[in-house]
Amino acid sequence: MKTRMEIKEHSKALVQSNYWMKVAVIVVYGAIISGVSFATAGIGALIIAGPMLIGLNYFFLLSYRQESPDIGVMFNNGFKNFGRNLGGYLWMVLFIYLWSLLFLIPGIIKAFSYAMTPYILADSQNVKAQEALKISMRMMNGHKLDLFVFYLSFLGWMLLSAFTFGLLQLFYVGPYMSTALAGFYEELKTTSIANGVISESELA
């Protein structure tokens, strides 16, 4: 598996490619989630958040693979299997919530265990909702700390974004971090297949 720095350097180099489309996807995603949440007191956002997140992840996964997706990819992928995508997202949120009732730490651990679920649902259209959670747990076994450190490495950028009232997040940190997190999944998937943790047929 590529190191954290290798994934981040590769992602940083990709930010300028198809740059304005990446910014547009971040803007549209945030605007839709915020608008629906405001209009429906949060209920509508819960319904569309999962499919939208899955579509967003797929856009940046294609970007990490050095393709040039357009904004339609986010909607096509997110809503193509709407019931499955919504179900996978809700199962993930529910299980994290239930584990959190046992105190904060178990909930955090499970959140990292299930972290690859939206990427699996985005990348593999035939994987069922609950199966995606199981595959994520297997992939993340032994890699939860890696992902935690990966998130932590963006802390400085997030603090800078706060000082710019979110402008830096919109025009640089969002596209960069989203590409890098998609890269984490891509490299982890490759390593998991190579090590026999998961099989290509499971994701077909």
Instruction: Describe the crossing of helices 82-100 and 129-140 by its angle, rounded to 10 degrees.
Output: 50
Q: What is the pLDDT of residue 42?
A: 75
Q: Report the alpha-carbon distance of residue 193 to residue 190 in Å, rounded.
A: 5
pLDDT single digits (tens) 8-45: 999 999 999 999 999 999 999 999 999 998 888 778 88
Q: Which amino acid is at 94?
A: L
Contact 143, 75 (CB under 8 A): no
Q: How confident is the model at residue 204 (pLDDT cuts 50, 70, 90)?
A: confident
Contact 60, 179 (CB under 8 A): yes
Q: What is the pLDDT of residue 41?
A: 73
Mean predicted confidence (pLDDT) in 87-92: 96
Contacts of 147 (CB under 8 A, 6+ apart): 112, 115, 140, 184
Q: How confident is the model at residue 104 (pLDDT cuts 50, 70, 90)?
A: confident
Q: Of 46-50, 110-114, 148-152, where does mean pLDDT reach its minimum?
A: 46-50
Q: What is the pLDDT of residue 138?
A: 97
Domain total in the chain = 1
DSSP H or E run through 75? helix 72-80
Which tokens belong to 42? Answer: 């949060």
Q: Report the alpha-carbon distance of residue 176 to residue 60 in Å, rounded.
A: 9
Mean predicted confidence (pLDDT) in 128-136: 96
Q: Report the alpha-carbon distance of residue 66 to residue 50 in Å, rounded.
A: 25
Q: What residues make up the domain containing 141? A: 4-203
- Length of the chain in residues, anyone? 204
pLDDT at residue 199 is higher than 80: yes
Mean predicted confidence (pLDDT) in 59-72: 96
Closest Cα to residue 1, out of 184, 200, 153?
Answer: 184
Q: How confident is the model at residue 95 (pLDDT cuts 50, 70, 90)?
A: very high
Q: What is the pLDDT of residue 103?
A: 83
Contact 115, 136 (CB under 8 A): yes
pLDDT at residue 160 is higher than 80: yes
Q: What is the pLDDT of residue 65?
A: 97
Largest CA distance in the chain: 47
Helix, strand, or coil here: 73? helix
Q: What is the pLDDT of residue 43?
A: 82
Q: What b-and-e string marks burial along 129-154, b requiring 16 or more CB atoms within 10 Å of the CB?
A: bebbbbbbbebbeebbeebeebeeeb
